[in-house]
Each structure stands twice: as structure tokens, then as C-alpha cells.
Amino acid sequence: MSQQNHNSRPQEEEIDLREELEKYSKHWPWFVLGVLICVFIAFAYLRVTTPSYHTIASIIIKDEESKSPSSEMAAFADLGLLGGMGTNSIENEIGILKSKRMMTSVVKALNLNITYYDDDAIKSSELYRDSPYFVQVLKPDEKKLSEFSSEGANQFLLTNVSEEGFELVNKETGEVFKGKFGQPLEIPFADIIVVENSDFIPLEEGVPNVGLRFSNIEPVVLKYREKLQLNLTDKNSSLIELGMDDEVKAKAQDILNQLIFEYNREAIEDKNLVARNTADFIDERLQIINQELDSVETGKENFKEANRLTDIEAEAEMFIENASDYNKREQEIATQLELANTMIDYLKSGSQSDLLPANLGIEEQSVNASIEEYNNLVLERNRILAGSTEKNPVVVRLNSQIDQIRDNVLHSFERLRANLRVSQQELERQGSVINSKISAVPAKERQYRGIERQQNIKESLYLFLLQKREENSLSLAVTAPKAKIVDRAYSSVAPVSPKPKIILLAALILGLLIPFLVIYLKNLLSNTVKSREDMEKVTKEIPIVGEIPSVARKENEMILHNDRSVLAEAFRILHTNLQYLIVNTAEKERGNTIFVTSTVKGEGKTLVSFNLALTLANTNKKVLIIGADLRNPQLQRFEEDARLYNGVSDYLANDDLRLGDLIRQSKHHKNLNLLPSGNIPPNPSELWRRTKTGEMFKELEAMYDYIIVDTAPSLVVTDTFLINKWADITLYVVRAGYTEKKLLNFAADAKNDGKLHDVSFVLNDVKWANFGYGNKYGYAYGEEKKSFLQKLRNKAAFW
């Protein structure tokens, strides 16, 4: 047994899945309509949306050649104290390329805050380079422009163009400004000049009316910064790909190319800044050395004139030849010492943010490397400060590194000066030995040699600085750009958005999803009975013997003779099912009494009662319909005069009345009679409790084959419970879309408690989509086949 249950579970799950799908498949016209509407909207969107294209450019950031660090800096690096001090970080360069300052330069250079568009076109498209006229802004007032933009008064129409001039019309206020090409024109927020585009080629339609839109620079910069895409192609390379999506290919190309140009221009200015500072330093030193050299030469000339000397050197030629090597070395050391003293003074007196002179001829390579590293860090810090503040963590870190390296450079020069002084003392000691050998030379010669030595030192330093100035000027003239262009900006041929396939696929999915969600939510939030499946899920102990389809307002809700409508077929099925429920029908001498009741008012008891009576009458059976709802009679809906006659209430209250005198012949069928409700009594329940009630039903059963009793709602009053013992069958009417599911439990409880017996459900007012097991097997016998539009209208009506 357990094995059998186990095997049946997959089948049950499959049936449940099928039932869930059928809940939606029966509403297929809504899915078709949803798809058609969404696809139509998608086509309209693709029609009116301006396509956007992807533009790409690529550059390589050149790496600075790293110099060999000084011994002191190498020692710090070995200890790990100078990590992350590189000055050419790719991340920093990407940050500079995407900075607001850089994009501001691009927007100003290309005048992107002015938009040109064709005002005559149905879909307004930007002209950009294809505009027949361009505008140059001379004196913009950003504050006033913001006010005009907020009011929508920043758009103008350039029209009525002639040889004499043009008219500029404010599209919001209608104000007209007349001007001439090439001449300044004052508008509320700027002075502008309108010029003709010499490259414009007129179209067949002629020159269009050009619309102009002025915008503040700030929002335009933010707009294109958001559009800008910067990607590092590989983490180990310095190749950067710049991208941008825009509706105008030429504009995106110009923006990317101009951005690269602005980046290179700024990088060149940074590099030239070091060279200019070095040039200023050399010029300053040349001026000082020139004055000192003039003073020494003047002193030499005065000494010779005072002592009447001509060629003193000839007398000490041999001694000078021996001392020439020492003098040469002494001159070199004196030059280096002078440079070291000068740099020490410069370091101590200059600002910590100043660049240090480079390539002055210092022989100590470690000192030169430290100077270059210091200058690179200062330039990096200044570039970042241009778009940031002193509190930026990167700036703080660079300041710390700059201070550290500046101190190292100062200590290196002090050590160099100390070493040079030691070397100078050693040379002086050795020179004293030579001087002792030429002691015979007159004192005038020794004095003259000292003057000449000073002259040679100053002269060599002067020539050295002249050489360095020329080298620095050459480097200033041939500075190369930092970003090498690999590919100039180019745009894709096919648009990147909107993508028709994706839009149409999304429309298709949305067209299916919206009806699905609506149906799902409707079923989820609904608490009323919709179909027989809903009833079977709530209560299974009461069978469902009939489903009555919904009747439109303009349709007849009463079946006719030889009626072949869906309504008539539904009652014939109900009649057939009743034959299986009537027990011992053949053995019973009297007629069958069928009670028709419901939970609350308005569920269709009278409609079911009357049509069931007509269906039975069509089988040549004698049928009587009784209006047993004494509180709220409804038979007059089908028999107009039913309320005018005496009936059940009068018979139960008056013992003098005969039952046969109260029965009326129905106007709708010869086999159908009517026993109206009669006058509305004050105490219906008391009347039903009389013994005369049972006598009435017995007498009627002897007269008719079927007695259909239209009773009162069971939940509202107790009348039906009082007389239900006289019923052979109780038909409990449930109205689809009206009766709450929880009320079905009331019928089950009434049956279990014995208040109602032989109860069967009749589902009334079933929508066509839910009729006949979800309309899967149902059909209209003899009914003309409806078109798709007719079915769609019916679906909408039943929705």
C-alpha cells in the first residue's frame, strides 16, 4: 500500500502543475493582447529613441626612467621605509584623466555648453558640426543663466536669416533679438557672436531653423564625466582605453581627442616647470659670478699696473709646471664646493614646495638622483592638489615623502661639502710643499698667482653655468608628450543602445508577464469562489451536480422551449445529474420535492429554481414551483403577476383557504404551475412550524411529479432549516465571484449537523473561462463559432 502511495505522488504533482497552467491558459486572449501592446510600444520606442554609439580611443602613459638611488636612499629602501614612493602611478593618471578640472577644460575648449538642434524635425536631433551657424559666448553670466535654465528660458530659435542679419527668438518668452553675423549681440545672460559655418553643406530641404540651448558649464561637465569610461587593458601595462556612449559620434570623438590633448598639455607644463625653475636659478648665479669675475679681473689689472709687471710667470715656469696638477684639482674642488654651498643656502632659505635646480654638474650621482626624485614628488603633489585639497590622504603622504627626501638632499650636500673641504685641505697641504720650493719667487709673484687662481675659478664656473643654461634651454624646447596616442577616437558602426532584439525580447516577456501577474494577484487576493475546482478544494463531501454559465445583461436569463443555448444545456445536465441523486424514484408513489437554497441573498436561487422547473416541464412532467422565501419573494422576476396573488403565507395562516385555489398556471409553459409566496407575514418562522406545512407538501407531492421550492437564504434566517425535512434533494446554490470560499464550510456544517440533508452544490454565474472544467472540454451546443475579437470582448466582459 505504501509503495502504491509512493508511486502516485509524482502523478499528483504533475496534475497540480497542469491545473496551475490551465488557470492561465484559459485567459490566453489577454496574453495575446498584452504581447501585442508591449511589442507595439517597443516598436514605437525604437522609432522615437535616438540611437547611441560607442566611441573608443587608447593611449599609453610613458613611464619615467628610474635613476639609480643614492647610497643613503638605497639604505632606506632596503629597510622598507620608502615603499610606494613611485611618482608615475597609473591609478593616479586615470584619476587625473577623469578629474572635473580636466573635463571642464574640454567643455570650454569645445563649447559643449551650447547645443544646436534642428527645430523643424519631428524628432529633434543634435546638429553639432552640421549646424549652419555657430555661437561664440563672450561674457557669460552663469548666475543669470541658471535662473533662465530653471524657467526654461535658455532655449532660442535662430530664424529669419538674410544677408542683413538674423533673429534670435526666445522659445519660452517669445522675446526677439535682432543681430548680424560676426557682430556682438547682447542677450539676457551673455554677449554672443553668431558666425556662419563655412563647412556646412545645405541639404535638399534647405537650411533648417536652428535651435540653440545654452547650459551652465557645471552640469555639462558632470554629464560627460559620468559618460566617460576609463579602463586599464591589463594590470601590468600602462595602456588606457577611453570610451564614451553618445548620440552624436563626432561629439564623442572630439571629447576624447580633446581630453588626451588637455592631459598632454598639462603634463608638458609640469615638466617644463622644473626646467624654467632651473633656468631662473642659473641666470641668477650667472649674474653673481659675472660680477665676481669682473672684480677679480679688475684687481689683477690694477696689481699689474701698480707693480709694473709684464710676464712674471716666465720666472717660475718650472715651479708652475710642477704645481699645475694640484692647481687643476684645486679648481675643480673649489667649483664643487661653491655649488655645494650655493645649494645648501638654497635648500635652507627656499620653500619646501619649490623645485630644486637639476643638472648643475654636481659630480656626486647620488645627490643628483635625490634632486630628481624630490622634483618628481613635488610635481606629482602639485598635480593632485589642482583637483583636491591639502587633506587628501595622497597629498599628505606625498608631503611626508617630500620632507623626508628634502632632508636627505640637505644632509647629502652637507656631507659632500665636508668631504670637499677635507680634499681641499689635503691639496693645500700638498701645495704648501710646492710653495716652499718656490719661496725664492718674489712676494709679488705669489700675490699675483693668488689673484690669477681666483680668476680661473670664477671663469670656469661662469663657463660651466653657460653650458648648463644651453642644455636646459634645449630640454625645454624638446619636451615630449606624456601620453602616446595608440588609436585616435573612433565610433562603432552599429548603435549600442537601444538594442532592437533586447527591447523586443523584453517587450515579449513583459507582455506575457503583466497578464500573468495580474491573474496571479487576482487569484491570490480573491476570496470568492470562481470555479468548481475552488469548491472541491474547500469541501469534498458535498457533490457538485451542475454549473450554470454567466448570462450577459442583454441576454435572456430564462430558457425557452427547444432552447439550444449554453444555459439550457447546463440545466439539462443538472436534470440528468439529479436523476442519479433521487433515491427510490421508481418506487415512490408521490412526486419528488427539490429544495433550492443558498447561503446569502443574491446567489441566484430563484434563477436556478425557475429554469430547473422549466427544464423538467419540457420533459412532459407536471412541475410546480413554490415561492418559499416568505420574507423576500423573487418569483415576480419571471412571473410578473406572482406578487399580486395569495400564496403560501396566506395558506398557512388561513385555514379556510384551499391549496388548489392558490395555484396558478405559468405563462411560460403548460406543464408548469406556480404557487406564489403570498403576502409577506410578520412571523414566517412561526408559520413554517405549523403542522399544516407537512400537509401542504404531502398534498402537492400527490398532485405533481416535481415540486421545486425556492427557499430563503440559510445563513440569514432559519426558515429553510425548519422545512428541509420535507425535501428529497437540497440544491445549495453558490454564485461564482460572489460567494466567499469560507461560506462553503457553512453548507458542510449544516449537512453534518443534520440541518440539511441530501445536499448538492449548484455553481451559478460561472464565467466562460471557468465553465466546464476551465472551458477545456466545454462547448456551446449548436452555437455559432465566435471570432477572435468576439472572444476577446467576451473575455473583457467576464474579467
- Give 239-301 as a DSSP string: EEEEEEEES-HHHHHHHHHHHHHHHHHHHHHHHHHHHHHHHHHHHHHHHHHHHHHHHHHHHHH
> 3-state class of 177 per DSSP?
strand
Q: Please name which of 377, 760, 720, 452 lies closest in space to residue 576, comparing C-alpha atoms.
A: 760
Sequence-ordered alpha helix ranges (H) in 386-499 = 393-437, 443-477
Contacts of 615 (CB under 8 A, 6+ apart): 559, 568, 571, 572, 574, 575
CA-only gyration radius of the chain, Å = 54
Mean pLDDT, the chain, rounded, equals 79
Contacts of 689 (CB under 8 A, 6+ apart): 722
Backbone angles phi, psi at 641, to 5 degrees: -95, 10
**Cβ atoms of 19 and 531 closer than 8 Å:** no
Domain boundaries, the chain: 1-49+498-525, 90-257, 264-487, 528-798
Please report which confidence band the pLDDT of residue 317 belongs to, taking 50, 70 and 90 as the band edges. low
C-alpha cell at 596: 433550492
Could you read off the pLDDT of 474-511 as tens digits, one per residue? 766 666 677 888 889 898 888 888 888 899 999 999 99
Q: Does the pLDDT value for residue 377 go beyond 50?
A: yes
Alpha-carbon gap, residue 291 to 616, rounded angstroms: 138
Q: Looking at the domain covering 528-798, what would its CATH class be?
A: alpha beta
C-alpha cell at 542: 458535498
Q: Please name which of 722, 731, 443, 480 lies closest in space to residue 612, comparing C-alpha atoms.
A: 731
Please report which confidence band the pLDDT of residue 798 belongs to, taking 50, 70 and 90 as the band edges. very low
Alpha-carbon gap, residue 744 to 739, rounded angstroms: 8
**Cβ atoms of 733 and 608 closer than 8 Å:** yes
> 3-state class of 422 per DSSP?
helix
**Cβ atoms of 627 and 642 closer than 8 Å:** yes
Q: How far is CA 252 from CA 53, 257, 437, 706, in A?
A: 9, 9, 83, 88
Q: How far is CA 501 from CA 496, 497, 505, 506, 514, in A?
A: 12, 11, 6, 8, 20
What SS3 string covers 737-756? CCCEHHHHHHHHHHHHCCCC
Alpha-carbon gap, residue 390 to 86, rounded angstroms: 19
C-alpha cell at 622: 407536471
Please report which confidence band the pLDDT of residue 11 belongs to, taking 50, 70 and 90 as the band edges. very low
Alpha-carbon gap, residue 649 to 553, rounded angstroms: 32
pLDDT at residue 63, rounded to an integer = 66
C-alpha cell at 389: 585639497
Q: Does the pLDDT value for residue 218 go beyond 80?
A: yes
Q: Does the pLDDT value for residue 88 go beyond 60?
A: no
Please report which confidence band the pLDDT of residue 10 belongs to, taking 50, 70 and 90 as the band edges. very low
Could you read off the pLDDT of 573-623 as tens digits, one per residue? 888 888 887 754 445 567 889 999 999 998 889 999 999 999 999 888 999
Residue 438 burial (10 A CB sphere; 0-12, 13-18, 19+): middle
Please report which confidence band the pLDDT of residue 625 belongs to, taking 50, 70 and 90 as the band edges. very high
Could you read off the pLDDT of 414-427 as tens digits, one per residue? 888 888 888 888 87
More reliable by pLDDT, 389 or 714: 714
What is the helix (H) or strand (E) element at residue 373, kind and residue range? helix 365-385
C-alpha cell at 505: 525580447
Please report which confidence band the pLDDT of residue 85 belongs to, taking 50, 70 and 90 as the band edges. very low
**Cβ atoms of 629 and 710 closer than 8 Å:** yes
Average pLDDT value for residue range 283-304: 78
Q: Does the pLDDT value for residue 447 go beyond 60?
A: yes
What SS3 string covers 673-734? EEECCCCCCCCHHHHHCCCHHHHHHHHHHHHCCEEEEECCCCCCCCHHHHHHHHCCEEEEEE
Where b means 16+ CB within 10 Å and e means fewer, 85-107 reads: bebeebebbbbbbbbeebbbbbb
Please report which confidence band the pLDDT of residue 791 belongs to, taking 50, 70 and 90 as the band edges. low
**Cβ atoms of 174 and 106 closer than 8 Å:** no
Could you read off the pLDDT of 335-369 as tens digits, one per residue? 888 888 888 887 777 666 677 777 777 777 778 88
C-alpha cell at 648: 403560501
Q: Does the pLDDT value for residue 57 go beyond 90?
A: yes
**Cβ atoms of 437 and 319 closer than 8 Å:** yes
Alpha-carbon gap, residue 671 to 662, rounded angstroms: 17
Kindly report whether the peptide bond that precedes residue 357 is cis, defined as omega within 30 degrees of 0.
no
